[in-house]
Structure 1
Amino acid sequence: MLKTVLTAIFVVVAGSAMAQEFQHEATPLFENCGDPSLTKARTDGVTLGISPSPPYSSLDPSSKKAAGLDVELAEAALKWAGIAKINYEVMPFGQLIPALLAKRIDVVASNIHVTPDRLKAVSFTGPAWWYGPAIVTAKGNPAGVTSFDTLKGKKVGAIAGSAADEYLRKIGVNVTAFQTDAEEFSAITTGRVDAILDDDVKIIEFMKANTSSPIEIVANVKIPDELIFKYGYGYARYAVRKEDCSLRAAFTQGLAEVRGNGQASSILKTYGLTNRNLFFFPL
């Protein structure tokens, strides 16, 4: 239970900190360091793969300039690491890992979470930022969704290849997979699915821009620990090929530096978020 974990982490008695218990969502990934990927990136530049998903990432069709929260965080970290030349490829989210493995891109820079299936194929940076999952239904919640268990037997939408998609299938939910945010939100607003599971910040952004949309976030849904610590809604990270250990190490330290010096906080605030989005436990 999240409440139990929070209690374990933040107990102080008579002004003295007691033993603390922390959970980790990722394991050390240092098996192949010593490779030339960082040197190559500093010399030749890197290509970041992004999916069109405001406010995270997008590409202006006229200027070809990338923008968004993930774009700014990734660029800040990579520039700290000495990587000055950054190019972009835009594609649906579900195509990013195949493109990475095919060496069409060097980094999945649309935020991505650690999941069991992804760990078989790619490696991950350290934490970039955090957001949580939210379940959306039609207004009035006619599907009667009150928990993740009540999604079973219903038609539920998710982005293909996302953490939401992987977890829903794992717990036996009938998933309708969509390639883009626009398709997913269209399906829930027109009643083609009973619910969708997606990122809370993305959903809030959509609802702010579409105030007449007949949808709502289901309130007071307990997030299963397994969804955070195993199936993807822990920290948002970025992904690289397993063999590119030196690039991953530099990128990871760059992310830590921009979190530590306040730049990450400043970027989050630009997009209407707060320091709450630096941690998956509230402080």
Structure 2
Amino acid sequence: MLKTMLAALLAAVVSVSASAQEFQFEAPPLFDNCGDASLARAKAEGVTLGFSPSPPYSSLDPATKKAGGLDVELVEAALKWAGVTDFKYEVMPFGQLIPALLAKRIDIVTANIHVTPDRLKAVSFSGPAWWYGPAIVVAKGNPAGITSFGSLKGKKVGAIAGSAADEYLRKIGVAVTAFQTDAEEFAAISTGRVDAILDDDVKIIEFMKANGSAPIEIVANVTIPDELIFKYGYGYARYALRKEDCSLRAAFTQGLAEVRGNGQASAILKSYGLTNRNLFFFPL
């Protein structure tokens, strides 16, 4: 009886706390002595966030010039925790984002981007933000008979230029047809210009929900190679910064951890139709 009463009381307390909480933070930013001026500059002057239009991750309203999307909201929430509140935006094809970062046209690659060997040579990465996996898409009925990553060899396979999918497919010997935009990629598989595409599962599901008559399907029960996850870029979604911007990267990374810790990241994911499953590493 006592245990039942305590459990009920605890549930009531947790319920009250959760309903009253408005994403307050337990820890303050502590980056004053990191040794470089990038965080101080970002707090004083703001930052320019670079991305390619890719719903539900990122988009720019042509009328208001306000950016939105899952990644944009996560990045801005983490930076606001760190004291950065002024945001500008640059929109460009995905493959141009790292060159723009290195040229200082943008300060953060806000399109979710993954750690790969080639990217590590040029840029640094934030801590993990959220998780999703790759999916293979084929024409309805799978006429090319694709059932695994191995069976992509010898087929015409599409991927976004410069993406983790593009890099990994080339590494395993697949001839890639590279596309600059999601629209071009989905049009190619829908019209039979390619036998398959490899892209993010959440992006594909979003497209299929919005285009129910598209003659495409996801190949089910495909084993994801460990190498694709741990070496060639389909681990956690992260964001890229210049290597020298150490204090900004440290503050931003802790900001991502804090918005995961206080429930704000979960709320953002759910607002885009995802769940807490997308906070954690596959295949847990």
TM-score category, normalised to shorter length: 0.7 to 0.9
Tell me the percent identity.
Answer: 87
Once the 2 structures are TM-superposed, how far is the Cα of residue 177 of structure 1 from its aligned partner? 0.3
Asked if structure 1 preserves the Cα contact closer than 8 Å seen for 2:131 and 2:282, the reply is no
Once the 2 structures are TM-superposed, how far is the Cα of residue 282 of structure 1 from its aligned partner? 4.8
Question: Residue in 2 aligned with 1:237?
Answer: 238
Where has structure 1 moved over 4 Å in runs of 4 or more? none
Say yes or no: does 1:275 pair with 2:280: no
Letter aligned with residue 247 of structure 1: L
- Matches of 1:256 and 1:196 in 2, distance apart? 32
Cα deviations by residue, 1:80-137 (Å, 9 ceiling, x for unpaired): 0000101100011110000000000000001000000000000000000010000000
Question: Residue in 1 aligned with 2:215?
Answer: 214
- Matches of 2:178 and 2:269 in 1, distance apart? 29
Letter aligned with residue 205 of structure 2: I
Question: Residue in 2 aligned with 1:167?
Answer: 168
Question: Residue in 2 aligned with 1:65?
Answer: 66
Question: Helix, strand or coil: the match of 1:78?
Answer: helix
- Please give the residue correspondences for 1:173-252 in structure 2 after superposition, counting only pairs within 5 Å: 173-252=174-253
- Matches of 2:283 and 2:227 in 1, distance apart? 18
- Matches of 2:282 and 2:130 in 1, distance apart? 12
Once the 2 structures are TM-superposed, how far is the Cα of residue 35 of structure 1 from its aligned partner? 1.3
Asked if structure 1 preserves the Cα contact closer than 8 Å seen for 2:72 and 2:110, the reply is yes
- Matches of 1:161 and 1:282 in 2, distance apart? 25
Superposition TM-score, scaled by structure 2 size: 0.88
Letter aligned with residue 113 of structure 1: H
- Matches of 2:135 and 2:196 in 1, distance apart? 10
- Matches of 1:95 and 1:177 in 2, distance apart? 14
Larger Rg: 2
Once the 2 structures are TM-superposed, how far is the Cα of residue 280 of structure 1 from its aligned partner? 1.6
Question: Helix, strand or coil: the match of 2:97?
Answer: helix
Superposition TM-score, scaled by structure 1 size: 0.88
Question: Residue in 1 aligned with 2:57?
Answer: 56
Change (3 A) 1:98 1:169: same
Asked if structure 2 preserves the Cα contact closer than 8 Å seen for 1:276 and 1:282, the reply is no
- Matches of 1:171 and 1:281 in 2, distance apart? 22
Asked if structure 2 preserves the Cα contact closer than 8 Å seen for 1:130 and 1:279, the reply is yes
Asked if structure 2 preserves the Cα contact closer than 8 Å seen for 1:127 and 1:237, the reply is yes
Unpaired runs of 5+ residues, structure 2, are 1-33
Question: Residue in 2 aligned with 1:123?
Answer: 124
Unpaired runs of 5+ residues, structure 1, are 1-32
Question: Helix, strand or coil: the match of 1:235?
Answer: coil
Once the 2 structures are TM-superposed, how far is the Cα of residue 34 of structure 1 from its aligned partner? 1.5
Say yes or no: does 1:265 pair with 2:274: no
Query: May I ask how many residue pairs the two structures share in their alignment?
Result: 251
- Matches of 1:281 and 1:71 in 2, distance apart? 23
Cα deviations by residue, 1:191-230 (Å, 9 ceiling, x for unpaired): 0000000000000000000000000000000000000001
Question: Residue in 1 aligned with 2:23?
Answer: none
Asked if structure 1 preserves the Cα contact closer than 8 Å seen for 2:134 and 2:234, the reply is yes
Once the 2 structures are TM-superposed, how far is the Cα of residue 281 of structure 1 from its aligned partner? 3.1
